[in-house]
Amino acid sequence: MEIHTNIPLKNFTTMKLGGNARFMTEVRTPEEVVEAYRNAKAQSLPVFVLGGGSNVIAKDEGFNGLIIRMRIPGFSVIADDLNSTTVQIGAGEEWDSVVKRTVDMRLSGIEAMSAIPGTAGAAPVQNVGAYGQEIADTLVSLVAYDTQADSFVTLLNENCEFSYRQSIFRDSQIGRYIIVSITLKLSKNLPQPPFYDALQAYFDQHDVHIFTQETIRNAVIDIRSSKLPDPKLLPNSGSFFKNAIVEDWQLAELKNANPDMPTYDMGDGRFKVPSGWLIEQAGLKGQVLHGIRVNDKNAVVLINESATGYHDLAEARNEIINTVRDKFKIQIEQEPLEV
């Protein structure tokens, strides 16, 4: 295992900002995870696990510890029956490659999460989701290194405490577990309507009436490519803000003042409001704030146009949050983690 020193984090995150990591290493086996963590602990160094860097923002001061870049490979069928196939996936696998492979196998469950950047191991951390699907719908279990117990553990779906863009891995147990593999149970049945509104609108527009896993994947890729900038060309971290969640008692007042406000019923008296719509209605779509451009196709995406550091991004973020709060009395939240 090679340990590299003084590594610019901006080269490993898609927003292309941030200072240097004191140490960085790549791990390709679960055993290397343990070795790297124990070595860091022996030197009293903090540890941060980095996947594709698409959902992480690096601060200007960098990271005075060890960055573990997750690269554990693997994709294997571990169970198969008439209706479903269960696959185990290494945490370092590229997520979209995993989705494509399952679609090629004609399996349903994650096809609507096509073209999401990042690694498979990062998917449970924020309960990745798109167009009506989320990882919580198919995840059976995961294997992780428990840094407190210094051993590998298997966590079942219910142990992860999934909710909208949330799990124990970025909440109550942040930093405790290093995910090394995930296990998904996928259906052999064809996707069935009703579909997410944006997806159904695409099908209507393109006169699509036969739905397969590949149909869904291709539609999602087409939609995303038309709305979301490629981070390889324009530095960004995808959806920078989580969609807002409001209670039913707030909804009536909001709808009265904004009859065209889109909302999605999440059950239990809670409704999702697209943060992109809120930002656009606040007049910020297409604006450049502190070198950060609010994407003119999807205002929930922030593009690093000329920012010189994390401080610029933070100023732009706070200005957007405050403007939306002043107009709608809704507090939107940043989605990417910070290191």
- Give the DSSP letter of residue 191: P
Task: For residues 274 and 296, give the distance between their C-alpha atoms in angstroms, rounded to a whole number.
Answer: 15
Angle ∠(57,34,53) on CA atoms, nearest 5: 15
Active site residue: 69, 71, 165, 217, which one?
165
- End-to-end Cα separation, the chain, in angstroms: 23
Examine the residue annotation and report whether 22 is marked as an active-site residue of this protein. Answer: no
Task: For residues 14 and 78, give the distance between their C-alpha atoms in angstroms, rounded to a whole number.
Answer: 33
Do the beta carbons of residue 237 and residue 13 sit within 8 Å?
yes
Active site residue: 26, 93, 111, 335, which one?
335
- What is the CB neighbour count within 10 angstroms for residue 321? 18
Place of tokens 């290194």: 145
Task: For residues 92 and 118, give the distance between their C-alpha atoms in angstroms, rounded to a whole number.
Answer: 9
Examine the residue annotation and report whether 181 is marked as an active-site residue of this protein. Answer: no
Active site residue: 141, 167, 239, 275, which one?
239
Examine the residue annotation and report whether 239 is marked as an active-site residue of this protein. Answer: yes
DSSP symbols for 142-170: EEEEETTTTEEEEEEGGGG--BTTB-GGG
Q: List, by residue number, the catalytic residues.
A: 165, 239, 335
